[in-house]
Each structure stands twice: as structure tokens, then as C-alpha cells.
Amino acid sequence: MRKAALAAAALVLFGAAGCGDNSDATVGGILLAQADGLTDAPEGVDLAVDLDTIDKAVIPAGAKVVRLAIGRKVHWNQVQALAARVVAAGARPIYLAGNWKKIRAFAIEDSWPGGNRAITITDYVDGKACIQPPGSIEAKCVQSATKTYIEEAYVRELVREQVKMFDLPLVEVDLPASLAWADVVRTIDGARTCCEGTTVRVRLKPPAPADADQ
């Protein structure tokens, strides 16, 4: 009975945290994605966008650092396009995320030591994430019960297993263009924070090399 009560309490707490509440950080009315592996955000000009406004967003003129507050449902390809526009305007994009109410900076990629041997995470828009060991054609996949979001705890657990098994703290993420920004953050953060005492580096999966015969 006690275990059942604890499980029910955990579900209630998770539901509140997962849906966002007054404890979650916001910028310009945008509810930020939540993460653990964050750093202090540099000073800059905030640009808050959601699914309906991101494509029309105006880059702040003259800004050297633009702090992007991105709605949780914004698509990954929209985020990439906005960041490219910020760079083209001569500014540095900083992605904002929340650690409860605290507003901090979230890195998409870490410095990479070189080489192509890495654990791979492949996300899908139906809440599924597959973790694949280096050189393997098989992967372990997990999926949230509602099939509407990536479950960070599952990602963290499977990446931890692979990092320990292969002694390889390098992870590449393969993200579909229409993946929600919140799932992008959950995936990268889950991998980055999987292993206490071990620095796990994350990068976007490089595109496959072009066929030499083409």
C-alpha cells in the first residue's frame, strides 16, 4: 500500500512539473523549457517567441547577444532558422531554459574532442527515443506513455547504461525537423546529465557524407 501511495504521489508531482506551473521560468510571457545542465546566461537582448511568432520575429538591431526564449512547442527547424538569422545579423544566439524559476543558458552542443565514435540518440515526434551503441545496427528505444513528449528520465537512464558499458562519454543526437523544442531540450539535457561524476559531451549528429559516386 505504501509503495502504491508513493507512486501515486510521484505521478501527481510529475504531472505538475511536466505541464508547467508558477514555479517555472518565463521570459516575455513564454514558458521556458526546463533543464538541469545549465550555465549562467550572459547579458543580452531577450527575444521571446512561440509557435505563432517565431517565423516573423524581428532580430533586435545592433544587439551583440540575443537571448532566445523559445516556446516549448516550437519546432526544431524553426529554432535553427531563427538562430541562423541571429548569426546573420551579427549577434550571438543564447538559448534560455529554466531551472524552476531561474533563467539560465542552455547549450545545444559541447566542445568535441574529435573522432566519430559516439553513442547516438534518435528522436521521433511520437515521444520515442532510441539509443544506439557505436557501430551497432540495434538500439534500445523508450517511449512516453502518452506518445506526446520525450521522457527525459528514460533517456538519461539508457544513456548512462551505454556510457558505462562502452566507457564512452560522447553522444550524438539526431533530431527530426518538427520535434518540439521542449523535446530537444529534454533529449540533450538527459544525455548531458546522465552520469554523475562523468562529463558527457553532446553534439548534433553530423550529416551523412555525400556518396563519392554522385
Question: Tens of pLDDT along 86-115?
Answer: 999 999 999 999 999 999 999 999 999 988
Domain boundaries, the chain: 26-106, 119-204
The upper half-sphere exposure of residue 148, i.e. CA atoms within 13 Å in the direction of its Cβ, equals: 5
With beta carbons less than 8 A apart as the criterion, state whether 92 and 66 touch. yes
User: Rounded to two decimals, what is the model's pTM?
Assistant: 0.87
- What lies within 8 Å, CB to CB, of 79 at 6+ separation is 54, 68, 70, 95, 181, 184
Put residue 141 in one of left, alpha, beta given phi > 0 → left and psi -120 to 50 → alpha. beta
Per-residue pLDDT, averaged over 2-9, amounts to 34
Tell me the β-bridge partners of 70. Answer: 49
Per-residue pLDDT, averaged over 32-53, amounts to 98
- Nearest CA-CA partner of 30 in 57, 50, 52: 50
| 47-56, 95-104, 200-209: range with lowest mean pLDDT | 200-209
Residue with cell 546566461: 41
pLDDT at 209: 72
Q: How far is CA 207 from CA 113, 119, 164, in A?
A: 18, 15, 26
Instruction: Give percent of the chain with pLDDT exceeding 90.
Output: 83
For residues 183-192, one letter each, b for 16 or more C-beta atoms within 10 angstroms of the residue's C-beta and e for the rest, the string is bbbbbbbbbb
Three-state SS annotation for 133-158: CCCCCCCEEEECCCCCCCCHHHHHHH
Look up residue 67 and give its DSSP letter: E
| Amino acid sitting at position 30 | I
Q: Which fold has domain 119-204?
A: Nucleotidyltransferase; domain 5 (3.30.420)
Selected residue with higher pLDDT from 109 and 206: 109
With beta carbons less than 8 A apart as the criterion, state whether 30 and 50 touch. yes
